[in-house]
Amino acid sequence: MPTTYVAVDLEAIKHNLQQVRSRLADGSQLMAVVKGNGYGHGMVPVAQACAEAGADWLGVSLVDAGVQLREAGLELPILVFVPPLAEDCQLAVAQGLTVTVTTEEHLAWLREAAQATGQPALAHIYVDSELGRPSADEDLPRLIEIAAGFPQLQITGVYTHLDSTRQPAIQALDIIKPGAELQAFAATVKALGRQHLGTQLLFHAAASALFLQQPEAHLDMVRIGTLLYGQYPAVVSQKLRTLDLRNTFELRTRIVGIAELPRGATVGYGKEFVCRRETRVATLPIGYAHGLSLIPESLARRRHCWWRRLLRERDTDYAIIGTQQVPIIGRIAMDQCCVDVTDVPEVQVGTEVVIPTRRVTISSTVPRCYN
């Protein structure tokens, strides 16, 4: 086993997906979002686990990621969220990926790619919801009408994405019936599909937060990321946190050295941490090159950086040995950091340590070990 590694529990991911499916509205499909290297867990193994657990679709950011999944043998429909550049369209079409489009130019690129490969080009149209991203918006009917004139181009869905950092806005129709605004838009999308394409378009809007907050928004499909990885979106209230989610990710390392420092000694670059007592300091072989924050939260608090806490910018401020939390002290270096183990006298060189951290920020060079 490597000294520093990420332990990934694929069975927990499967369990979490099944928990989500148990709450899914009848007729709704489930897209497992595996962007960001599977939220730091490793994209291909996570995607395979989700496929085995019953996911209907997979979601990635870029064409290259979709190609990796195809090369790994995954045959589920794959939606690419970021609209591709012209040079990526032919590869996307050849691999049977469904890409996001927002402009007539995107349609033209896909038409050319379909003609070059002899395969149909698959696409969903994105409509923005106050995120300021490129969007079809008022051009939606025109894009569907144009696509209808391209036999090689198949528009199979329309979607939007709501801001998960705040509660969903209450629109006029929602006062009468929860979710009515989205359902009205979905009805418009389906009418456009029948009118111009002679088919039923998928419409999807809900990611993890809205999935829990508003069952009426499940519609044709939900896109689930955070929940699969054992975490709730911050905006979800406690009363809605009723899924039996399991932890899927642990960053683990081992103590490589222990020093006994006197009161007044300093730890780390800048000498910003001063020992207020005789302190037993353990060194861990992990630092910001692996994806940890440069300054631990404990030090930021001492420097009165209230805005970090306000913005929830918390990478890690402690490590865990057994069941006990130990503070990370001093600045985090490129390849090392220190923890105060004075209150855990039994630790020694080689003792395993778990570091809670944001999953996606952990470098892909850190080995992932799967159960």
DSSP alpha helix (H) spans, the chain: 10-22, 35-39, 43-53, 63-71, 86-94, 104-117, 140-148, 172-176, 180-192, 208-213, 297-302, 306-310
Q: Helices 86-94 and 104-117 sit at what angle, rounded to 10 degrees?
A: 50
Q: Which of 5, 14, 39, 269 is catalytic?
A: 269
Q: What is the DSSP letter of 43?
A: H
Catalytic member of 14, 35, 39, 288 = 35
What is the total residue count of the chain? 371
Structure tokens given for 9:
């529990």
How are beta strands 337-340 and 324-329 bridged, if at all? antiparallel
The b/e string for 233-260 (b: 16+ C-beta within 10 A; e otherwise) is bebbeeeeeeeebeebbbbbbbbeeeee
Which tokens sit at 321?
């040995």
Rounded Cα distance, 118 and 93, in Å:
9
In one-letter notation, the amino acid at residue 251 is L
CB 2 within 8 A of CB 244: no
Residue 39 bears catalytic tag: no
CB of 296 closer than 8 Å to CB of 272: no
d(CA 122, CA 111): 10
Q: How far apart are CA 73 and CA 70, in angstroms?
A: 5
35 is catalytic: yes
Listed in sequence order, the residues at least 6 apart from 239 whose beta carbon sits closer than 8 Å to its beta carbon are: none
Residue 356 CB partners (closer than 8 Å, separation 6+): 251, 316, 318, 319, 320
Question: Active-site residue numbers?
Answer: 35, 269
